Every structure is written in C-alpha cells, then in structure tokens.
Homo-oligomer: A and B are copies of this chain.
Amino acid sequence: MDVQGRREIRELSYPDSLRLLATVRFGRVVFTRHTRPMIRPVNHLVDGDQLIIYANLNLVPVPTGRQVVAYEADTISHATQLGWCVILTGTAEPIDEPLELRRYEQLIDPWLPGSRSRLVRIEPDLITGIELVQRW
C-alpha cells in the first residue's frame, strides 16, 4: 500500500495551530542549556494565546528572566503517518503571582515525569503548523 501517494501536507493558520495545541495535554519544550540544545516532554495548558507548562527544575532551567524556547506538539501517528504538528517559538518566564499559580495548578494535571515545583508561561512570537491528511 503506497501511503506516500495518498498523503497531503497542508499548512495550518495561526488560529488553527493554537486551537489544535489546546486539544492535547502534552508537548516538547526545547531550550538551550550551556549552549547545548535540550528537549523534554511536558504537560501543557493553553490559556488564551499563552502556553503554561510545569518546568522541571532538574531539567528545564527556570529562567531568571525571559528565555527563548521552542515548543512542539503533534498527533502524528507512527502507524498511519497522519496527524498534525504545531511548532512555536517564544519567551518563557516563571509564574510568581499566587492567584495565577493557584488557578493553573488546578487546571494542569501533570502526568509526565518531572518536578512540579515551578510553573512557566511561554508567550509565543511565532506559531506554525502542518497537517498530514489523507488524500481521497
């Protein structure tokens, strides 16, 4: 079966990318540590156009100020080779405001490994997405 011949790649708009990102509960945060690129799977929450994640103190350095990060989430299936993929770049900063912390702690149910000690907000400056769809 020639899966390749039946697949089509479509670009997603900013609103569609953000909407899809909000339908899933984890992605992969990408950052630079000591000039080395790092990646960690983390649970997320989309709040408006912001992304909220738990930063693992052992793995994700909690930024003292703003830090440039990338984030990726997808539903691309190893079996069907179909799904969507959203990539954003933005700036990350720790959340310190008690009311915000309490709200997000109630909303995010983290099930991936990693410490829950700090919540981090990512403000996207670029969001792009693609969709791998079946062509009929």
Contacts and interface: CB of A to CB of B under 8 A. Distances in A.
A118 to B, nearest CB: 19
Interface residues of A, number: 37
Nearest to A67: B37
A17 B69 CA distance: 26
Interface string A1-33: 001100101000000000000001110101110
Contact of A70 (B7, B25, B39, B89): B39
Nearest to A25: B78
A136 interface: no
A75 interface: yes
Q: 6 tightest CB-CB pairs across the interface, nearest first? A: A30-B37, A30-B39, A37-B70, A39-B72, A9-B113, A39-B70
Given A4-B109, A39-B87, A111-B132, 16 more contacts: A3-B111, A7-B111, A24-B78, A26-B76, A26-B78, A28-B28, A30-B37, A31-B37, A36-B70, A36-B89, A37-B68, A38-B70, A38-B89, A41-B72, A81-B111, A113-B130
26 contacts: A3-B111, A7-B111, A9-B113, A24-B78, A26-B76, A26-B78, A30-B38, A30-B70, A31-B37, A32-B32, A32-B37, A35-B68, A37-B37, A37-B89, A38-B70, A38-B89, A39-B39, A39-B70, A39-B71, A41-B72, A41-B74, A41-B76, A41-B85, A76-B112, A112-B132, A113-B130
